[in-house]
Amino acid sequence: MNTVVTSKEEILRTSRELIQRQGWSAVNIRSVAAACGVSVGSIYNYFDSKAALVGATVESVWCEIFRRPEDRTVFQDTQACITWMYGRMEYGCKVYPGFFNLHSLAFMRGDKSDGKRRMQQTWQHILEGLCSVLKQDSKVRPDAFTEQFTAEQFAGVLFSLMLSALLRQDYDPSAVLEIIRRTLY
């Protein structure tokens, strides 16, 4: 058996593949080591616990699902961005069945603070991206946002709708797009 892992990314890629093939419970130090063809100690060189491995894997799944598209125009138009995000959510559910619902439960059994921190970082990144798109979208009426109704608040509403869609596994953004049209344009 190999004793050297090529990289941390290789371990994370293998962990994602295990989730895709065998589900969430397949990710542990021993199964990842076996799938990588390395010793258990090699995995511990990169991750000091199963919770650290799982946390990093979750973060890498989020990054894969919401990897920036090559077409940068997606982030210049709110409707195009929302359509893209719903498509990525659908992709995530197909490639990683149950991921969105189950990964937070896995953290409840392990290192709660690290899991919660990683999830909040990812969500904050998505919220900041939505705000950025809302602020640069040339179709948004100049008076759409006020001190009482900010782009940040509206991004929060959009994000809440997206989280609800994830729970329902409803990847049709048409209702959200209609809200955007009626509220901002």
Are both 83 and 157 inside the same structural domain?
yes
Question: d(Cα 147, Cα 164) in Å, to the nearest integer?
Answer: 27
What is the domain count for the chain?
Answer: 2
Most confident of 17-21, 60-64, 111-115: 17-21
Indicate the pLDDT class of residue 103, thresholds 50, 70 and 90.
Answer: low
Q: Is residue 177 part of a domain?
A: yes
For position 43, what pLDDT does the model report?
95
What's the rounded mean pLDDT across residues 171-184? Answer: 95
Q: What contacts 24+ positions apart, CB below 8 Å, involve 70-75?
A: 75/129, 75/132, 75/133, 75/136
pLDDT band at 62 (very low <50, low <70, confident <90, very high): confident
- If asked whether residues 81 and 157 sit together in one domain, one would say yes
30 and 81 share one domain: no
58 in a structural domain: no
Q: What rounded mean pLDDT belongs to the chain?
A: 86
As a whole number of angstroms, the distance between CA 55 and CA 44 comes to: 14
Name which of 50, 64, 70 is nearest 17 in CA terms.
64
The whole domain housing 43 covers 8-48
149: DSSP letter: S
pLDDT tops 90 at residue 167: no
Domain match, 83 and 134 both: yes
**How many CB atoms within 10 Å of residue 179?**
16
Same domain, 28 and 115: no
Same domain, yes or no, for 35 and 115?
no
90-117 average pLDDT score: 68
Is there a contact between 79 and 5 (Cβ–Cβ < 8 Å)? no
Supply 80's token pair: 């195009």
Per-residue pLDDT reduced to its tens digit, 104-161? 554 445 545 666 676 777 788 889 999 999 999 999 999 999 999 999 999 999 999 9
Helix axes 112-136, 99-109, angle to 10 degrees: 140
Can you tell me which residue has the tokens 């895709």? 20
Residue 17 pLDDT:
95
Q: Are residues 26 and 76 in the same domain?
A: no
Residues 91 and 166 in one domain: yes
